[in-house]
């Protein structure tokens, strides 16, 4: 959030390379990495991360993919993935209200509608 993208990317890549990282942690790290690539304008690298996240079968991948699209500034795609999470009754939507990485989506009327839809 401070704009230290290169430093953040280095740390996230170290995390991915760690033999101690769990599968769920890997998804979170990938989402953060893709989000950061998006903010930095590295669209091809963000697209590579999106492919990996979309191939995952854990329930978190819906929010993780939405986060990368938010970093890329692709609101329509971000909201489409958030809507899928709502359709599947994803139980951890509290992240949507507290995570600063979704800040770019908050001014959009679809954000308020999504919160209403999931009773937040």
The set of long-range contacts for 104-108, using a CB threshold of 8 Å and a minimum separation of 24, is: 104/70, 104/73, 104/75, 105/70, 105/75, 105/78, 105/79, 108/75, 108/79
Does position 3 have pLDDT exceeding 90, yes or no?
no
Domains of the chain: 5-117 (1.25.40)
Q: How far apart are CA 89 and CA 67, in angstroms?
A: 18
In whole angstroms, give the CA distance from residue 23 to residue 16.
Answer: 10
Tens digits of residue pLDDT in 10-66 = 999 999 999 999 888 999 999 999 999 999 999 999 999 999 999 998 778 899 999
Give pTM, 2 decimals.
0.91
């Amino acid at each position: 959030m401070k704009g230290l993208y290169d430093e953040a990317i280095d740390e996230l890549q170290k995390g991915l390379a760690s033999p101690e990282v769990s599968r769920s942690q890997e998804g979170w790290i990938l989402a953060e990495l893709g989000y950061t690539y998006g903010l930095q304008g590295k669209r091809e690298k963000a697209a590579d991360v999106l492919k990996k996240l979309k191939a995952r079968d854990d329930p978190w991948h819906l929010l993780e993919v939405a986060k990368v699209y938010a970093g890329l500034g692709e609101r329509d795609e971000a909201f489409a993935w958030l809507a899928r999470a709502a359709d599947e009754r994803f139980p951890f939507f509290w992240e949507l209200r507290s995570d600063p990485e979704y800040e770019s989506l908050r001014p959009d009327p679809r954000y308020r509608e999504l919160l209403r839809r999931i009773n937040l």
